[in-house]
Structure 1
Amino acid sequence: MTTPSTTATSTTSTTWVDVPPDHLFGIHNLPYGVFSTTSDRSPRVGVRIGDLVLDAGAVAAIGRDAGLVAEGPDLASAWRTRSLNAFLALGRPAWTLARQWLTEILTDEGYRDGVSPHLHALEGVQLHLPIEVADYVDFYASEDHASNVGKIFRPDNAALPPNWKHLPIGYHGRSGTVVVSGTEVVRPTGQRKAPSDPAPVFGPSIRLDIEAELGYVVGGATELGSRVSVDDAADHLFGVVVLDDWSARDIQAWEYVPLGPFLGKSFATTISAWVTPLDALTSARVPLPGQSDPRVLPYLQGDAFGLDVHLEVSLNGTVVSRPEHAGMYWSPAQMLAHLTVNGASIRDGDLFGSGTVSGPDRDTRGSLLELTWNGTDPVTLEDGSTRGFLEDGDTVTMTAWAPGPEGSRIGLGEATGTITAAH
């Protein structure tokens, strides 16, 4: 068994692992996560192939411990930790090398005997939060979403604020409340005040919402005072997760003037357990819809690619929306460039959200706020019940996929959560 070196290459796109060719987690995907088993409860890095999870650190350690590696990063040590952060710190060359090596050992029949004992059935493992979130920022990158929100709350004014097409608008969230898919979400409590109320009241949110987003995982830490350009952003954008930015609209509406979201957002953010490497999404890159009027400032110009990712939002098993990420106005590369243009440093494990992914039609809107037009036009579920906003016991599941090479599809996992009553 060899382990990663600077000469690792892939020679085929067919895996010896028993995976159907149309599986969303085939050889072209290979997302990273953190898992444990009943026999070994220590969380460590795993790589998904089909419905199996490869104990990546255990396999990498075989060759390292045998002294067969003369050069290359120590992936075995990085992968035998409880998060992806140590791996993220190794940077883009190591990420690319690791992917080449993983592809090699899962496609070359000669590795089968050494690798097979370290493959675990997905149904038998526990998945954990894949990163220790350093900082969390959420952006507002969909023109359709921003326009819908403007029409709902500012019907007599322009739908977009005057700065919206000049810079990626964002706010800082709470990294400590980012949770892995499957974690229950407790209904938040706080102040709220309807326009007709004489004074604010305190209690559970009654307008609890979702926001279907992609989240971008960042590595390759930078120093305070430095910047990341649009063209260099790919060196720091490690991968993508599905993200649900849960939102208490009534709490948010009362608190957000003049400083923006706070308690209405910070109670929970759900991400998928699997981080899809940006390298797996090469075939999904698409041009941005267009930023010619107005033309963005020079620091936001460059390799500002979009991603053709198809999301699906289900509420209690009923598909209520299919947002399309390809229509997003701002690129993740531009978001990262703007995030650092003032000299703000990035840390391994940083996470930023795209903002709600929405489209021009009702069935492509990524939040209940838009789908129900602020509760005035509820959605109907398969059991005949209706929803303006979320009720206790409701389960929301978001999934996503993107086109891959050779006609394949790349699955981005799922972000799911069930609402429980306020404490």
Structure 2
Amino acid sequence: MTIRTRDLDPNFWREVAAEMEGEAISRCFACGTCTAGCPVREIESRYNPRRIIRMVLLGMREEVLNSDFIWLCSTCYTCYDRCPQGVRLTDVMTALKNIAVREGHVHPSFREQARLVLAHGRLYEVEDFDNRKREKMGLPPVRKAIEEVREVVDDPRAGGGGGGMRYAPFLGCTIPVRGQNYEIAARAVAGRLGIEFVDLEPFSCCGYPVKSTSAESALGMAARNLAVAAGEGLDICTLCSACTGVLTEAARELERHPEALERVNERLKEVDREYRPGVRVRHFSRVLYEDVGLEAIREGVIRDLGTLRFSVHYGCHYLRPREIYDGFDDPETPRTLDELVEAAGATAVDYEGKLDCCGGALLGVEEEVALRMAKAKLDHVTANEVDGLITICPFCTVMYEDNQRKIEQAFEVEYGLPVLYYPQLLGLAYGIGPKELGFRLNKVRPKALL
């Protein structure tokens, strides 16, 4: 590529730095740590984080904003956590995408995600049929919050824009429609352990799907959900790791930056809400690990799972970026989920590529790349002949279970690997029946396990 100085914009890096989440870019000294650890780069050579940063610093504005490679970031936060200079590269990528959207460059996948969120308040429309089905499963109805969501989200198509163990369960987009077995099992286990779930109907999408098109809209959506919980005096318990990351990061941002809080509350006035910082956001697995504790979990086990071996998928947003999780576990050498599996009486088995991303964020951008990323982990996990893969995030499960058959057909391989949500495993250890844990909804039937 020939670079002409007359085509460069020397202020481009400052424009990126001025974005809500694009700061610290000038500290990059091109060591390559980001590229070396990037799971997308391992699969797709077009995506090179170090190269993108250099292009920004050189002022190659048009080349960057018109490119397709800025949309390939899976937001796994590996580069964010490992950068020796503290460059928040995942946020830099978000800033680049936000700028691109304002100038009319929107990847079709993210345009469609924003359209769905604006149309339904979630990625998936929850119709009366879905609520009737949920009722038959013993699950509460999901209320639509479409008008409120529209007030706090910019439309990229326009080109710019408590205490104790008592929690409000936050279901997000995927669980009500595609992860009901996760919800069923989590509610069953929570009941056994004395965790009270108080359902708040006005919850909607966390904001993650629109963050790539407008970080400000994502912050507004997250703040609206936080305000719903704050209004009831409740902390939030999430089941989705991406929701956990977005809501935790938003709560931290609004607590530390009064100007952001003021800006968001101005927008929330349109829906008669206001957020006052103080809501804690915690993943259900963290609630189990910290609030309940490993010893108490062991005490409830009545079924011996000692012959079963499982590998654990931590995913990206459960522990990264580490700065928002106050030292809970180590994202480079995590142990909490392994210890939870062992507390249920099963054996946790390590494997190559344990920290790798599932590829879910790229499914609508580059399906082949996403499937190849998921395949790499399925290869590593099945090599150890384990009884199943344990997940704690609905979209990771979409990649490893829902798409398992597609991967088998595309790459002429065969896995037959059961994928269980951790609450399903713990529920079995507690003697809860498979039906009460939603196993009939698992795509790969764990017949031997049951």
TM-score, structure 1 normalization = 0.26
Say which structure, 1 or 2, has more relative contact order (CA 8 Å, 6+ apart).
1
Q: 1 or 2, which has the higher helix percentage? A: 2
The structure with the largest strand share of the pair is 1
Q: TM-score, normalised by structure 2?
A: 0.25
